[in-house]
Structure 1
Amino acid sequence: MNDATQRQLADAYRDALLEDTLPFWLQHGVDHKFGGVITSLDAAGNVIDTDKGVWQQCRFAWLLGELHNNLKADETWLRVAQRCMDFVDRNCFDPLDGRLWFQVTRTGEPLRKRRYAFSESFAAIAYGELAQATGDDLAAQKAERLFRRFLNHHLFSPEAKSKFTETRPMRSLGFPMIGIATAQQLRDSINYPGADDCIDRLIDLIRRFHIREDLEVVLENVGVDGQVLDHFDGRLLNPGHAIECSWFLMQEGQHRGDRDLQQLGCRMLDWMWQRGWDDDHGGLFSFVDLSGKPVSEYWHDMKFWWPHCEAVIATLMAYQLTGDARYARWYRQVHDWAHDHFADPERGEWFGYLHHDGTVSSQLKGNLWKGPFHLPRMQLICSQLLGDRR
């Protein structure tokens, strides 16, 4: 990881982002007729389903706005981002309760709403980037309003919603971790008031309820007081989620100059790498059991694209924060494995789903869950961490 190697890697990430990943989506996914982006694409970029996920409309708009604001001003990127959010404005809010849908038809007719408010969190960061790019106060107001709705829906309100009944109430890691990432983005894009206080509260929830130093683990689901629940849900570990959360905390620690927070993020990475990495075939398992028991989800040993993107960021960030050669080794391990197995050098982008042995399971390049987000975000962040100055 000398200077020459870092420059080479920075160039490789930037080139992959701008010459491979982004062109794939701009060419094949943008819906020039109805607006927004279609993400259900096969290996060659052919559309195989026209339904639109609201997450992906907002995530693509965020990505393009982030690139416009922080990489280079590009009116094409900004125009596509605005068209994605225009589609959301016209079609994706339920007029009865103001919540966002999860899935709509190509023309915007509603199909499905989830109990979660993650659509709101992703819309918030998209509106934040558009506000920064255009100076639109209304977009900034939308970003703040939707973020508050996400927080109240899941975390900071007596009426906070959970998928679990009072028979066995639980807390889930996804809500505070996405809250942290959203607050970080809005702090950067619109100088969101109270971002630091909000992040403090969310980190406290993760520390108190999901981090178990005695077990050296980050728990995905816990009882309301943080207790381990000896059931499938309670023992379920999601290495990719926890590793993604680890770099959110490392990043926050670096922003604040908080060494303890940086070290906490590194410990989370340590624990979940050891539990999640497949020593036989390489790659990260989707799920593992806290006690080493069988996992109920049948895809538990598959390798998905997004945990590997998060692990590339986390290991590189940990190495840069600590200088520990172990993190450099892990970084090259996951970087090389992911690029060797997920990437499609002939047609662009990455496959999303591999069998446990690393062979391609599906020819999908996108669907309601996979779109232009985790991979290009990783490419952007890694190029920045490595000092891309072009």
Structure 2
Amino acid sequence: MSVDRALLDPLLVFASGARLERGFGHLDRAGAVVSGRGPELWINARMTYVFSLASLLPDPPVDAAGLARHGVETLAGPFADPVHGGWWSALDLAGEPQADLRSCYDHAFVVLASATATAAGVPGARDLLDRALLVHAERFWDEDRGLCVESWSGDWSVAEDYRGANSCMHTVEAYLVAADTTGDPVWRARALRIAEHLVHRVARAHDWRLVEHFDADWRPLPEHHRGRPADPFRPYGATPGHGLEWARLLVTLRAALEAAGEPPPAWLLEAAVGLFDRAATDADEGRTGFPYTTDWAGAAVVDQRFHWVHCEAVLAADALARATGEQRYADLARRWWAFTVDHFIEADGSWLHELDAELRPAGVTWSGKPDAYHAVNALLLPSLPLTPSAAVAMTYR
């Protein structure tokens, strides 16, 4: 499958409008930076990732290399805490820190962005990656558990009494790219340990529905946020989109282990299929598109449609089609991609982030169009091998 530049190029042009003096801002639906809202770490890291990949395209429609460099310089500069280490989660428009929480989720995206930028040859990216990996290893990685601490206070003195699967999932993604970029297999081994606990043990025990929330001792909290079901990062219940995203990552991890000459455990593919089938059955059967969340019996709780969920559905189906050779996955990838193109992509090439159950633009959980990370992945990854990571693979072209 080749990259559809007729869809990718307008999206990159739209995303380039997020550039601020320092980093990237939060775009509204029309493509303007939301007034008075300073840059946020996770958006800046994701946009740096996007433009690092775009810089490897032939004739990108924007100055992708310059935008990637801008992202790296902002992450290495204003976002970096020179006193305590790590990165601020948000800045004001003058570049002053606005929140001192140290989040594993945010820091995983700094690893992902800096590793991708390193592979793309962005100046300063390797130094940023070395710092990001050191912080992640020292502050978030729990060697005894083989999992990640969720967050810390700004001076690293107090850890949050909560553990989350979402931040661990994005750590798996980031560690796989770090392993490809640095050549250090420790990151791949840690990704496997995370997946083994959260998927092979916990999700399997819950009929392949992912438990997202845990206490500090990693005891499941299935009722967490029942009163806040539409929370953008910690919603109640099962999240089919994460089941699909994990399925893709497990296929990628399996391919990466094989490529490294490390026999992958048999459960990786079994678990990917289990997660995929459970999410597809709960979320897609009898509905038009995928709801955000379900309860523990598979009934929709938040019946909004998010672009990222549909991106991950397509990517998981595509990955499993290639890993197994089964036609049913390829058929689902085509069907879900057609739905995504029809309902999420606007005339200017930007992507709606949320629809309601009647497929009308909505903003209950996500306002505007804050980043292009999932959409760019959906457009690029099916044209690339399962391993190595996107930026490394694109340098081979």
TM over 0.5: yes
Q: Note if contact 2:25-2:34 (Cα within 8 Å) is conserved in structure 1.
A: no
State how far apart, in whole Å, the 2-side matches of 1:277 and 1:255 are: 29
- Partners of 1:171 and 1:242 lie apart in 2 by 18
Query: 1:249 aligns to what?
Result: 250
2:295 corresponds in structure 1 to 289
Query: Unpaired runs of 5+ in structure 1?
Result: 1-6
How far did 1:293 drift?
7.0
Contact 1:250 1:262 (8 Å CA) reproduced: yes
Question: Is contact 1:242–1:268 with CA below 8 Å preserved after alignment?
Answer: yes
Residues 1:170 and 1:189: Cα distance change in structure 2 (over 3 Å): same
Alignment counterpart, residue 146 of structure 1, candidates 111, 120, 132: 132
Measured at CA, do residues 134 and 229 of structure 1 come closer, stay the same or move farther in structure 2, by a change above 3 Å? closer
1:205 aligned onto 2:197: yes
Residue 4 of structure 1: aligned partner: none
- Which of 16, 19, 33 is residue 7 of structure 2 equivalent to? 16
Alignment pair present for 1:261 and 2:268: yes
Shift of 1:277: 2.2
Match of 2:231 in 1: none
Paired with 2:87 and 2:210, the residues of 1 have a C-alpha distance of 30
Query: Matched residues in 2 for 1:170 and 1:196: separation?
Result: 25
Q: Which AA in structure 1 matches 2:239?
A: N
Aligned in 2, Cα 1:99/1:385: closer, same or farther, shift over 3 Å?
closer
Residues 95 and 250 from structure 1, CA distance in 2 versus in 1: closer, same or farther, beyond 3 angstroms? Answer: same
SS at match of 1:212: helix
Q: 2:155 matched to which residue of 1?
A: none
Aligned-residue RMSD, C-alpha: 3.4
Q: Taking structure 1 as reference, are residues 11 and 149 closer, same or farther at Cα in structure 2, changes over 3 Å only? A: closer
Which residue does the alignment assign to 1:100?
87
Shift of 1:187: 1.8
What letter matches 2:132 in structure 1? L
Residue 62 (structure 1) aligns with: 49
Q: Is contact 2:150-2:162 (8 Å) kept?
A: no
Paired residue for 1:189, among 181, 206, 215?
181
Match of 1:326 among 325, 328, 340: 328
Q: State how many pairs are aligned.
A: 363
Q: Post-superposition shift, 1:228?
A: 5.3
**Matched residue type, 1:304:** F
- Deviation at 1:114? 3.6
- Could you give the per-residue CA deviations for residues 139-158 of structure 1, whole angstroms, max 9, x where no partner exists? 43432332343355444168
CA distance in 2, matches of 1:208, 1:62: 29
Which residue number corresponds to residue 376 of structure 2? 376
What's the counterpart of residue 347 of structure 1?
348
TM-superposed CA distance for 1:24, in Å, is 1.3
> Which runs of no fewer than 5 residues in structure 2 stay unpaired?
153-159, 227-235, 259-263, 387-392
Range 168-177 or range 314-323, more displaced: 168-177
CA contact (8 A) 1:131 1:189 kept: yes
Q: What is the one-letter code of the residue matched to 1:15? A: A
User: Of residues 97, 108, 130 in structure 2, which corresponds to 1:110?
Assistant: 97
**Structural mapping, 1:9-48, within 5 Å:** 10-12=2-4, 14-17=5-8, 19-26=9-16, 28-31=17-20, 34-43=21-30, 45-48=31-34
Counterpart contact for 1:131–1:190, Cα < 8 Å: no
Which among 272, 275, 285 is matched to residue 279 of structure 2? 272
* Structure 1 equivalent of residue 116 of structure 2: 129
Using a 3 Å threshold, how does the CA distance of structure 1 residues 98 and 225 change in structure 2: closer, same or farther? closer
Distance verdict in 2 for CA 1:366–1:274, change over 3 Å: same
Percent of residue pairs bearing the same amino acid type = 20
Residues 119 and 181 in structure 2, CA contact (< 8 A), matched pair in contact too? yes
Name the structure 2 match of 1:220: 212
Distance 1:58 1:125 in 2: 8
Structure 2 match to 1:3: none
Corresponding residue SS for 1:312? helix
Q: Tell me by how many angstroms 1:352 deviates.
A: 0.7
Is the contact between residue 341 and residue 358 of structure 1 (CA under 8 Å) also seen in structure 2? yes
Alignment TM-score, normalising by the size of structure 1: 0.81
Q: Distance in 1 between matches of 2:121 and 2:34?
A: 34
Indicate the SS of the match to 1:111. Answer: strand
Distance 1:73 1:348, change over 3 A: closer
- Structure with more of its chain in helix, by fraction: 1
CA contact (8 A) 1:218 1:242 kept: yes
Residues 304, 353 of structure 1: 8 Å contact kept: yes
Maintained 8 Å contact 1:305/1:351: yes
Equivalence for 1:311? 313
